[in-house]
Amino acid sequence: MTFLKRSVWTLYWKGIVAKLSLDSRVALQLSPGPCRYFDEPVDVKVTGLPPEQYVEVRSKLIDSRNVSFKALATFCSDKNGHIDLARCPSLGGSYSGIEAMGLFTSMRPLVPHSRLTKRDVSTPLSVDIEVTCNGLVVAKDTVQRRFLGDGVQKVPLEGGSIRGSLFLPPGPGPFPAILDMPHLGGALTELRASLLANKGYVVMALAYHGYQDLPKVLDKLDLEYFEEAVTFLRAHPKVKGTGIGILSISKSGDLAFAISAFLPGVAAIVSINGCNANTQFSLHYKDMVIPPTKMDLKNVTVTADGLLDVRDVVLDPMMEENQASVIPIERANCHFMFVASEDDRNWNSVLFSEQAAQRLRDYGKENFEVVRYPKAGHFLDVPYMPHCPSSFHPAVGRVVVMGGEPKAHAEAQVDLWKRVQEFFQEAFKQ
């Protein structure tokens, strides 16, 4: 009898699915079109469903490392048979509640602890979206998430010492310029650079290790390398002569501070979850050597999931034994934005940002702003990038937690991207 009931129930659902599949009114709508820039939202709607019909909406992509990322959410259609992700709450799945871009930001890798990677920004990232009822697909479509705008040129940096890519907006210029530097282990990352070039900036995506003929393993860094990059960027015929901006994250934050302190021509710096002192490797410039901050591996803890938490390994830069590592940012003649995530588990970026701001105050300077994001994690990226709560740490050699609650982290990324652009626009007016 139980088997019979189950068979009848299965046939019932198959009948509904067959009707939905054959009904030409059922449609998945992606607007304003099937091709959007990665930092722009996508409106996802389903129409033509029976009223109060439960369905799953799924998303999937494959990144440059051939890692699949997926998300799903359950919805119930309204009395008109419509589902609008900007208005209808997810009833369960990868996220719950109303999140218009939840199918994108809540994606999780099938290979644990992977961060979404896109190496070639000249091609879009395809995201497949499908609507399923009782496990069978009733509607599907694909949205292309573009990075490179029409007319934007990507020029590889060849010759000389520096490695990376230069992104040039269409037109004669001159344009304001930004030096974009990745986190440790990032090799060459071009997502932010390409998206900023779409908005009228000349942007250099600079690698400083692990790319082409650059060292794969670091034991020191030379500021002369970054000096060459700054000089090259400032001298480019498409670049305005008002000084460049620097966009940095994590380890590259202290590198950006050092550039502003010891080199001319920097107008503005954004440091996302960076440190106010030199970290991990000694930094050399001419006859000067800045040692890395002291670390204490006894401060490593292990989470309930067996992952390492290294937040307190880098010791307080204001400790006496770390004073030689602190970057003298009071020497800089630029504007600063210190961004700190309050749930950053990579290190104590809130403390570092507060100390950087206080150092400038102590020298009578107010050329800065501090932005903090509660419940956000370490890797604050471009809008709608999937949250990365844990990742392999190249300096640790193990997987570590990066922190952040998915929804708060996603909201922080959208807000920060807007703030970064406004900050650079204002700085370049000076």
104-135 residue pLDDT tens: 999 999 999 999 999 999 999 999 999 999 88
- Span of 282-286, 409-413, 426-430 with lowest mean pLDDT: 426-430
* pLDDT over 60 at 7, yes or no: no
What are the tokens at 153?
A: 């040129």
- Computed over every residue of the chain, the mean pLDDT equals 93
Q: How confident is the model at residue 237 (pLDDT cuts 50, 70, 90)?
A: very high
What value does the mean pLDDT take over residues 263-267?
96
- Residue 13: Cβ-neighbour burial (10 angstroms; 0-12, 13-18, 19+): middle
What are the tokens at 126?
A: 């395809």
CA dist 102 and 40 (Å) reads 13
* pLDDT over 90 at 321, yes or no: yes
* pLDDT over 50 at 157, yes or no: yes
The residue among 173, 269, 196 whose CA lies nearest residue 37 is 196
CA dist 250 and 49 (Å) reads 46
Give the pLDDT score at 4: 43
Active site residues: 250, 344, 378
Please, which contacts does 232-238 make with residues 24 or more away whose CB atoms are closer than 8 Å? 232/157, 232/160, 232/162, 232/204, 233/166, 233/177, 233/179, 233/202, 233/204, 234/177, 234/265, 236/166, 236/177, 236/202, 237/173, 237/174, 238/168, 238/169, 238/172, 238/173, 238/174, 238/175, 238/202
Q: How confident is the model at residue 3 (pLDDT cuts 50, 70, 90)?
A: very low
What value does the mean pLDDT take over residues 30-39?
82
What are the tokens at 90?
A: 């997810």
Rounded alpha-carbon distances, angstroms, from residue 413 to 89, 205, 321, 339: 21, 19, 35, 11
What are the tokens at 1?
A: 């009898």
* Residue 313 exposure: Cα atoms within 13 Å on the Cβ side: 18
Give the pLDDT score at 429: 84
Q: Rounded to two decimals, what is the model's pTM?
A: 0.92
In the chain, the amino acid numbered 26 is V
* Non-local CB neighbours of 426 within 8 Å, separated by 6+ positions: 335
Q: How confident is the model at residue 13 (pLDDT cuts 50, 70, 90)?
A: very low
* Residue 126 exposure: Cα atoms within 13 Å on the Cβ side: 5
CA dist 78 and 87 (Å) reads 11
| Fold of the 27-146 domain | Immunoglobulin-like (2.60.40)
Q: What are the residue ranges of helices labelled H in 23-152?
A: 102-105
Give the pLDDT score at 29: 93
Give the pLDDT score at 135: 86
In the chain, the amino acid numbered 395 is A
Cα-only R_g, the chain: 24
Residues 37-95 have pLDDT tens digits of 999 999 999 999 999 999 999 999 999 999 999 999 999 999 999 999 999 999 999 99
DSSP tag of 321? G
Q: How confident is the model at residue 34 (pLDDT cuts 50, 70, 90)?
A: low
* pLDDT over 90 at 382, yes or no: yes
What value does the mean pLDDT take over residues 164-173?
95
- Span of 128-132, 211-215, 406-410 with lowest mean pLDDT: 211-215
Q: How many CB atoms lie within 10 A of CB 237?
A: 8
* pLDDT over 50 at 243, yes or no: yes
* pLDDT over 90 at 404, yes or no: yes
Token match 């932005």: residue? 371
Under a CB-based contact definition with an 8 Å cutoff, are residues 151 and 169 in contact? yes
Torsion of CA 261, 264, 268, 273, to 10 degrees: -30
Give the pLDDT score at 6: 52
Give the pLDDT score at 268: 98
Q: How confident is the model at residue 36 (pLDDT cuts 50, 70, 90)?
A: confident
CA dist 355 and 351 (Å) reads 6
Percentage helix, strand, coil for the chain under 3-state DSSP, each rounded to 5: 25, 30, 45
Output the CATH code of domain 153-428: 3.40.50.1820
Give the pLDDT score at 134: 87
Q: List the chain domain ranges.
A: 27-146, 153-428
Three-state DSSP class for residue 390:
strand
- Residue 334: Cβ-neighbour burial (10 angstroms; 0-12, 13-18, 19+): buried
Give the pLDDT score at 186: 72
* Percent of the chain predicted with pLDDT > 70: 93
Which residues make beta-bridge pairs with 47?
A: 27
In the chain, the amino acid numbered 246 is I
Residues 336-357 have pLDDT tens digits of 999 999 999 999 999 999 999 9
